[in-house]
Amino acid sequence: MLVKNLIALYQKKLNKVGVHNALWEMRFMFKEILNIDLASQLLEKDLTINNTQEKLIKKCLDRRLKREPFDRICNKKIFRDSELLLNPYTFSPRKETELIVDIIINLKLNPKKILELGTGSGAISIALMKIFPKAKCIATDINNRSLKLAKKNAKNNNVFEQINFICCNWLDIFVNFDFDIIVANPPYIKSEVIGKLDPEVRCFDPIISLDGGKSGIDSYKKIILGLDQKTFYKNSIIIFEIGNDQSQEVEKLMKEVNIMKTQVIKDYSNQKRFVLGTITKSKT
């Protein structure tokens, strides 16, 4: 079958069900699934695929028609320069989350010890360990199946020896802290809003990674109040990813437990996306 004919057929179908950028999604799907590079797709007017290839790509395109995301169909996601495997139990990391890494680079701290709460696929920890090869990281998650995948991603990206993966609920197992940086991207969507999200999100990201409770900030409360009960042996910087309407509430919670020097940072879309602060209640 001619590739251009198949693309024309499915572009109409995908546009009809509300898939944006359908053409480029298909181009990349041909590249990932059938290993046909973009140059060949664009330059070879009579490019064809055999029956086996046609069945395989149609099966994937039909999944996309049901609004299954491209990264779920391919079971992988690119986060900065890291290729990450995905499974149904892990949140698919978003482009804006990459800014957490840039924020840490811009702080010019040269961190030695990093804690990530709720690592999921391991995206943030893996990216940081690549940038700071002398650093060590503890990455936690409540889901063992997520941690199993995160470990595999760390091995595939050659940073496994730098990361200690621990199954726990936020800060439950920790007593003393000597981390330079703590990062967290908790669930922050209000429970009542989840049913209104795009199908790509509500049907394919695990609910535990989306549902932030009635107010959307339940997890932030647990983490921030938990930090207030711990012993810190040096000042630590904490960075949260937040919903775009949550900066004031999260900043207020942080200041109530003496997390000071707070700062709100916007994402690529000029939305308030991150809050950082310094935990100054060090004890000796």
Same domain, 43 and 123: no
Both structure tokens of 201: 């999100």
Residue 282: the pLDDT is 59
Residue type for 275, please?
V
Nearest to 72 by CA among 216, 203, 249, 182: 203
Which residues, in sequence order, are bridge partners of residue 211?
189
Same structural domain for residues 56 and 172?
no
Helix (H) or strand (E) holding 22: helix 22-34
**Residue 153 shares a structural domain with residue 25:** no
Percent of the chain scoring above 90 in pLDDT = 85
**Domain co-membership, 40 together with 108:** no
Within this chain, do residues 105 and 244 fall inside the same structural domain, yes or no?
yes
Residue 194 lies in a domain: yes
Amino acid (1-letter code) at residue 212: G
Classify residue 88 by burial, with Cβ atoms within 10 Å: 0-12, 13-18, 19+. exposed
- Record the pTM: 0.92
Does the residue 17 lie in any domain? yes
What domain range is 49 assigned to?
3-66
The answer as to whether 75 is a domain residue is no
230's CB contacts (< 8 A; 6+ apart) are 171, 174, 175, 176, 177
Residue 80 within any structural domain of the chain: no
For residue 20, the model assigns a pLDDT of: 87
Tens-digit pLDDT profile for residues 22-47: 999 999 999 999 999 999 998 888 99
In a domain, 185, yes or no: yes
Kindly state the greatest CA–CA separation across the chain.
Answer: 72
Same domain, 62 and 173: no
Instruction: Give the mean pLDDT of the chain.
Output: 93
State whether 102 and 225 are in the same domain.
yes
Count: domains in the chain: 2
Regarding whether 100 and 62 lie in a shared domain, the answer is no
Last residue of a domain, one of 66, 81, 111: 66
- The dihedrals phi and psi of 180, each to the nearest 5 degrees, come to -75, -40
153 is a domain residue: yes
Q: How big is the chain by its Cα radius of gyration, in Å?
A: 21
Banded model confidence at residue 283, pLDDT cuts 50, 70, 90: low
**Do both 58 and 95 map to the same domain?**
no
Q: What is the pLDDT of residues 90-128, one digit of tens each?
A: 999 999 999 999 999 998 888 999 999 999 999 999 999
Residue type, 241: E
If you average pLDDT over residues 189-215, what whole number do you get? 95
Residues 6+ apart with CB under 8 A from 94: none
Residue 83 covered by a domain: no
53 and 155 part of one domain = no
Taking the C-alpha atoms of residue 216 and residue 187, their distance in angstroms, rounded to an integer, is 8
DSSP-assigned beta bridge partners for residue 55: none
193 occurs within a structural domain: yes
The per-residue pLDDT for range 138-169, each reduced to its tens digit, is 999 999 999 999 999 999 999 999 999 999 99
CATH number, domain at 168? 3.40.50.150
Ranges 73-77, 95-99, 230-234: which has the least confidence: 230-234
- Residue 231: per-residue pLDDT: 81
Same domain, 52 and 123: no
Same domain, 58 and 94: no
Cα–Cα dist 210/206, whole Å: 7
